[in-house]
Amino acid sequence: SQELEQSPQSLIVQEGKNLTINCTSSKTLYGLYWYKQKYGEGLIFLMMLQKGGEEKSHEKITAKLDEKKQQSSLHITASQPSHAGIYLCGAARTSGSRLTFGEGTQLTVNP
């Protein structure tokens, strides 16, 4: 079974719309990482969250980690075609442990 559940699996939005992707674990996480991937390419690091309640933003993307450190959300404001791709969350269960990844969310942004 997957340790990290991502939802939705796919998302199609109109350019300019806001959207949210979720990543949920049944267990407390040590660290949560968000990555973006273009099809057939490597993963690009977006943000890392470690503290309960932490929130980080970069340009139009905001990521939050809940107080219990079991759920994270990635929010994109005023989406653009350049935001299209696969978004993956990765998590470490303890300090120094290897990352496990969710199945990814395929985002399509229509002009």
Partner 1 sequence: DGGITQSPKYLFRKEGQNVTLSCEQNLNHDAMYWYRQDPGQGLRLIYYSQIVNDFQKGDIAEGYSVSREKKESFPLTVTSAQKNPTAFYLCASGDSYNSPLHFGNGTRLTVT
Contacting positions for partner 1 (CB under 8 A): 2, 4, 9, 30-31, 33, 35, 40-45, 48, 50, 88, 90, 92, 95-96, 98-104
Q: 18 φ, ψ to 5°?
A: -90, 155
Closest separation in Å from C-beta 68 to partner 1: 19
Q: Please choose, from the candidates 71, 83, 93, 94, the residue with its C-alpha nearest in 3D space to the C-alpha of residue 22.
A: 71
Q: What whole-number distance in Å separates Cα of residue 79 and Cα of residue 37?
A: 16
| Residue whose CB is less far from partner 1, 17 or 50 | 50
| Residue whose CB is less far from partner 1, 36 or 64 | 36
Closest separation in Å from C-beta 99 to partner 1: 7
- Eight-class DSSP state of 69: S
Closest separation in Å from C-beta 103 to partner 1: 4
